[in-house]
Amino acid sequence: MKSFLKYTLATMVGIVSLVFIFFIMLIAIGSSGDEVKIRPNSVLSLKLNKKIVENAEKNPFLDFGIDDFNDNFPLGLNDILKSIEHAAVDENIEAIILESGSVGAGMSTIKEIRDALIDFKVSGKKIIAFADGYTQTGYYLASVADEIYLHPEGDMELKGIGANVMFFKDFFEKIGIEPQVIRHGKFKSAVEPFLMNKMSEANFEQTKKFIDALWNSMVDDIASSRGVSVEDLNAIADGFLIREAKDAISHKLVDGLIYQDEVKAKIEAAAGTEYKQIVKLQKYMSTNGMSGIGKDKIAVIYCEGSIIHGKSSDGTMGSETIAKAIAKARKSENIKAIVLRVNSPGGSSLASDIIWRETVLAQKEKPLIVSMGDYAASGGYYIATAADKIYAQPNTLTGSIGVFGVLFSMEELLKDKLGLNVDGYNTHTYSDMGNATRKLTIDEKNIIQHSVERVYDTFITHVAEGRKMSKEEVDKIGQGRVWAGSDAINIGLVDELGGVDEAIREAAKRANLEDYSIREYPKKDGFGFSKIFGGMMMQHSLESQLNEISPELTKWLELKDMKGTQARIPFMLEVY
């Protein structure tokens, strides 16, 4: 009876919770069409410390101030850029207050937003930046502002950037797991952590080159905005000279030290008027429709995340989903050109080829332009090769033209460490090839090596055809090597430096369009119960905590579950 009452009560609580959340959703859906009114003399507030993705779904809980839900909804780069563009011509917006001490995005995404803010300033409206403290990337964005303010007790970082890789060779040897790696490309270093205890010379060479390129891009932009020389900025970073807030003043990196309550006066001085309201970005997004006018359309297809076979899910790009979106845009009479927005470190070579095939078909019928985000590497570059023109930011990581396969043998762990023996029967010689309980034979390794070589040859053939190069030229700059966008343009992997807006304008030009609207793909699924009861919040919390403890561990867990030959960048770069 006690158990019966307990489970009955739990069921009743669950039903009440379901009804409550369903009621909230109905209100949210019903109010989604309500117009957000922007009063004259308003200021747009940009807080970009949340995760930023290419194309975010609408948050139905925005109007209810439920922070636990709202914090788990990322911002869409597309919405941010459109809002900044709209604010420049919106008579009710007098200025922008940039309140992003940190930014939840990679460096290329930040540059994209930064460039949009530079365009905003052409309108004559001011940008004021204020934060309690600035991370390095947070300051990179803030440096675009006309005036930068910092809390008197706040911190600011300008210390240089680096990349670290955790190596598992000794760990695997201790526990009796043997990584069996087959790869092509001396720079294809995604599997090095399983085989070595430090970077190979080739990996160190490529890492140094693209890290230096990313840093140089950042300091060049800061120097241009702040009127401080690159040499001085490098000296500041090398000596860690910003140790307290007043140091940022003396080195001309901020314009003043003020408290939160003093920000209002600074905004009003910049705007030249007393503002009536501060409009949050998420609210402002619903007021603008700056996608253009006209029956003719340009499709922007968002290719974001690791490339997998099948349908897309959170954080992944499914070959079925993206191929279907490209095919739909190709077949639509109203869509006159296609922009592929790629932000991917790569993934399954088969899935990449499925997507590539659709890009080839699309390019034969309509202008196809690629815009690269933080990453368009390995499989991410694979799907870009058929484009008429490729845009990247100077700090985009691209290339990584190479492939690998990895299997883990637990034979020693099972037999020698745990005392477990495995026996069985197979109908044919290779029936259990890939079985983790034993090592690969020489013949099996040769079979997989042949597959890897075949995929690599297909990869460089696609690149050669798309980029009008010989296979020998592609192989020379391939071999799995990662390039920054600023270097990739010099070796023919990229055509021009710029963001998604430049790519859209190029697509319109090639399609001879003056009046057009934007159609975004893939279509976002409607917000449903699965988002609430599918463990979204718990999963987000666990993933973020695990990644904070050991980013390399989470990447290994992801790599462990990969199927088939992979075309993937060595590691994801995090800059703070």
Q: Tell me the angle at which helices 77-89 and 500-510 cross, rounded to the nearest 10 degrees.
A: 80
Buried b (16+ CB within 10 A) or exposed e, 234-260: bebbeeebbeebebbeebebbbebbee
Look at strands 566-568 and 346-348 and give their pairing. antiparallel
User: 300 with 519: CB under 8 angstroms?
Assistant: yes
| CA 100/CA 137 separation, integer angstroms | 10
Which entry of 188, 266, 366, 531 is annotated as an active-site residue?
A: 188
CB atoms within 10 A of CB 469: 18
CA 363 to chain centre: 25
d(CA 303, CA 380) in angstroms, rounded, equals 8
Nearest to 413 by CA among 116, 113, 144, 172: 172
Residue 143 falls in the annotated catalytic set: no
Q: Which region, left, alpha or beta, applies to residue 84 given φ > 0 means left and ψ of -120 to 50 means alpha?
A: alpha
Q: Which of 108, 371, 378, 400 is catalytic?
A: 378
Question: Is 225 a known active-site residue?
Answer: no
**Ramachandran area for residue 403 (φ above 0: left; ψ -120 to 50: alpha; else beta):** beta
Q: Which amino acid is at 344?
A: S
Q: What angle do CA 298, 304, 309 make, to 5 degrees?
A: 110
Q: What is the dihedral of CA 508, 511, 512, 516, to 10 degrees?
A: -50
End-to-end Cα separation, the chain, in angstroms:
56
Contact 284, 87 (CB under 8 A): yes
> Distance between CA 336 and CA 107 in Å, rounded?
31
Give 263: exposed, middle or buried? Use CB within 10 Å, 0-12, 13-18, 19+.
middle
Residues labelled catalytic: 188, 378
